[in-house]
């Protein structure tokens, strides 16, 4: 594991990290505590989603996905959290850049979630600004897509705040919370566009 790349980003109030297996307990706690809050907007979850075994495997896999340039899945903590031991940290949210496609599109999809107790403080917007800078500057992505259900007003407001443009409306787009749901499609392009090229070393 130690030879796999790591990512750590800091903002005034948040700290974002690509977690290792040793964060499995902290991530599991976040999902358990926010089960109802997050499942409303979630695809079907595996049967063992709320187990430590699942999160150990999933976090190990996430490190590999990043090393293979397929996805970047970060956890978000409040700024004082790095002082704590791994596993004892309190995770307040997640953000993920997935389905990374290179070639002429250099695009990916963005997903995110924040603990219910931490909504309404601008923390996700702040964390995502840093994560998007990293996606554009370091990962050299050109376009980040984010899609939300029309009833998810908080998610829509967040994307508008970050400058995402609405690019379409997709009927029955994703299977979320037990049914196929319409989604509003949005995207943000790199403010400093550059041609596709060799990736910087990680």
Ligand X SMILES: CC(C)(COP(=O)(O)OP(=O)(O)OC[C@H]1O[C@@H](n2cnc3c(N)ncnc32)[C@H](O)[C@@H]1OP(=O)(O)O)[C@@H](O)C(=O)NCCC(=O)NCCS
Q: Which of 7, 124, 132, 139 binds ligand X (CB under 6 A)?
A: 124
Among residues 5, 43, 82, 120, the one that binds ligand X under rule CB under 6 A: 120
33 binds ligand X (CB under 6 A): no
Tokens found for residue 59: 């976090």
Beta strands across the sheet bearing 165-176: 8-10, 14-17, 72-78, 91-101, 107-114, 143-148, 179-189, 165-176
* 56/25 Cα distance (integer angstroms): 8
Q: What is the C-alpha separation between 154 and 64, in angstroms, rounded?
A: 32
Nearer to ligand X, 56 or 181 (CB): 181
Residues with Cβ within 8 Å of 10's Cβ and at least 6 positions away in sequence, in order, are 16, 79, 130
> Per rule CB under 6 A, is residue 176 in the interface with ligand X?
no
Is residue 123 a contact residue for ligand X (CB under 6 A)?
A: yes
- The Cα–Cα gap between 135 and 152 comes to 24
Q: From the list 9, 38, 130, 144, which residue makes contact with ligand X (rule: CB under 6 A)?
A: 38
Size of the site for ligand X (CB under 6 A): 20
Alpha carbon 134 to its chain centroid, in Å, reads 12
Beta carbon of residue 195, minimum distance to ligand X (angstroms, whole number)? 31
Shortest separation between residue 176's beta carbon and ligand X, angstroms: 9
Q: For residues 114 and 141, which CB has a smaller minimum distance to ligand X in the complex? A: 114
Q: Which of 70, 90, 102, 125 binds ligand X (CB under 6 A)?
A: 125
Beta-carbon count within 10 A of 30 CB: 25
Contacting range for ligand X; rule: CB under 6 A; set: 21-29, 79-87, 147-155, 163-171: 147-155
Give contact residues for ligand X (rule: CB under 6 A).
37-38, 41, 112-114, 119-125, 148, 152, 154-155, 157-158, 161
């Amino acid at each position: 594991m130690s030879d796999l790349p790591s990512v750590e980003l800091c903002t005034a109030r948040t700290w974002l990290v690509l977690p290792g297996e040793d964060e499995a307990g902290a991530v599991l706690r976040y999902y358990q505590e926010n089960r109802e809050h997050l499942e409303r907007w979630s695809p079907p979850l595996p049967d063992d989603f709320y187990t430590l075994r699942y999160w150990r495997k999933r976090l190990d896999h996430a490190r590999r996905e990043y090393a293979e340039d397929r996805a970047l899945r970060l956890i978000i903590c409040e700024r004082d959290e790095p002082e704590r031991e791994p596993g004892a940290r309190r995770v307040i949210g997640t953000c993920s850049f997935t389905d990374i496609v290179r070639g002429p599109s250099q695009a990916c999809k963005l997903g995110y979630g924040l603990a219910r107790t931490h909504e309404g403080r601008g923390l996700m917007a702040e964390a995502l600004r840093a994560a998007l800078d990293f996606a554009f500057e370091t990962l050299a992505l050109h376009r980040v897509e984010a899609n939300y259900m029309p009833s998810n007003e908080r998610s829509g407001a967040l994307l508008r705040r970050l400058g995402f443009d609405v690019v379409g409306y997709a009927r029955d787009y994703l299977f979320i919370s037990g049914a196929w749901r319409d989604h509003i499609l949005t995207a943000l392009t790199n403010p400093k566009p550059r041609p596709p090229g060799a990736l910087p070393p990680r």
